[in-house]
Amino acid sequence: MVRVVFLFALIVLVLSVFTVGTIAQDKDFKYVGAKNCKMCHSSKKSGEAFNIWAASAHAKAYLTLASEESKAIGKKMGIEDPQKSDKCLSCHVTGHGQPAAKFDKTYLVDEGVTCEACHGAGSIYNPMKIMKQIKAGEVKAADYGLITPTEASCKTCHNEKSPTFKGFDFQKYAVQIAHPTPKE
């Protein structure tokens, strides 16, 4: 009987390790919008990540496309409305170009470049239970869609293809948007 219980426990352990390692492949990550991050990431305890984002140019990226300056730049590029152009929206709106099924009903296009543009679509890692498991090191963040941004990921938009590009110093700009969680 002890052998059977041990064997069963071993099988469950192996299957759980295998399952955790394949979660990223098996799940359909969806964009849920910045408001879903706000509840937990507005306090000092969380590093005020939401507040830092809300005060940033990223949060205003979509709205910026409605400015007279953006309309003038768009006109020079043959773009009638920057807020409707794939050329502009690909960098000014999180997840632009993804199929409609990748967006939860809570996602809002006018939030601009949200947390999920840098950290991945949050539908699977967003729940408090998962975030606590990630923080405790019980599960791998990437298995749940949570990614750590890199210089390369920032440069998918901050590059010479942008009509307003003036150079990109990753170290300098990363500090401006940094939102580390304080040690407890």
Instruction: Parse the chain into domains and list their residue ranges.
Output: 28-177
Q: How would residue 3 be classed by pLDDT, with cut points 50, 70 and 90?
A: very low
pLDDT, tens only, 63-86:
999 999 999 999 999 999 999 999
pLDDT number for residue 129? 95
Q: Which of 1.10.10.10, 1.10.1130.10, 3.40.462.40, 1.10.600.10 would CATH assign to domain 28-177?
A: 1.10.1130.10
pLDDT, tens only, 99-144:
999 999 999 999 999 999 999 999 999 999 999 999 999 999 999 9
Give the single-character DSSP code of 93.
S
Q: How would residue 27 be classed by pLDDT, with cut points 50, 70 and 90?
A: confident
Give the single-character DSSP code of 142.
G
C-beta contacts of 173-182 below 8 A and 24+ residues apart: 176/56, 177/52, 177/53, 177/56, 177/58, 178/52, 179/41, 179/47, 179/48, 179/49, 179/52, 179/53, 180/47, 181/45, 181/46, 181/47, 181/49, 182/44, 182/45, 182/47
